[in-house]
Amino acid sequence: MDVNNGQKTFTCQQCEKSFPRKSNLETHMRTHTGEKPFTCLPCGQGFASKGNLGKHLTVHSEKKPFMCQQCGKSFTCKSNLETHMRTHTGEKHFTCHLCGKSFTSDNHLKRHLRIHTGEKPHACQHCGKSFKYTNNLKKHLRMHTGEKPFTCRLCEKSFTREGNLQVHMRTHIGEKP
């Protein structure tokens, strides 16, 4: 066992942060390497720790017990509801130090920073192509899987992207795309 009575004996050589367990240090090191070995099967998003993957999996859950009293939107966890409430109050505590744009959550700021850094942390496991945003990777994966989740309710033709379905719908009303 690598616990030392709560003392932080495992120190990161890159940032000097200390941890009580070697496993904590190993997980922390992934913040420097960018490694995300725990992958969400439903959406393909990667995580540095099993715990973060576990927290994320709640977004795919049917249970959403935390409801906004102002708009009725429901959430899987209380912290997501608290973040959502800022959309009603207009609070934006997280500001980009490069351009001054403000955001309601730390995650939105982190995602925004990729515009400035060019970081593309979401890699396709099939071809290695990388993307800034999870949704872009999800759309790209359909190219490999053949999934076509957008189906025309009039003729049953399916499409990989919603925009392609919208263009197709014009053919039913005689409008040229």
Confidence of residue 58 (pLDDT cuts 50, 70, 90): confident
How far is the C-alpha of 110 from the C-alpha of 91, rounded, in Å? 17
State which CATH number among 3.30.160.60, 3.40.50.300, 3.40.640.10, 3.40.190.10 fits the domain covering 147-177: 3.30.160.60
pTM over 0.75: no
Please write the tens of the pLDDT for every residue from 82-94. 988 988 998 998 9
Q: Is the pLDDT score of 98 beyond 90?
A: yes
How far is the C-alpha of 64 from the C-alpha of 78, rounded, in Å? 10
Query: Residue 94's pLDDT is what?
Result: 92
Could you tell me the residue ranges of all domains in the chain? 147-177
Alpha helices in 5-156 (DSSP H): 22-33, 50-57, 78-89, 106-117, 134-145
Please write the tens of the pLDDT for every residue from 14-23. 888 888 999 8
Confidence of residue 69 (pLDDT cuts 50, 70, 90): very high
The proportion of the chain whose per-residue pLDDT surpasses 70, expressed as a percent, equals: 94
Confidence of residue 176 (pLDDT cuts 50, 70, 90): low
How far is the C-alpha of 111 from the C-alpha of 132, rounded, in Å? 8
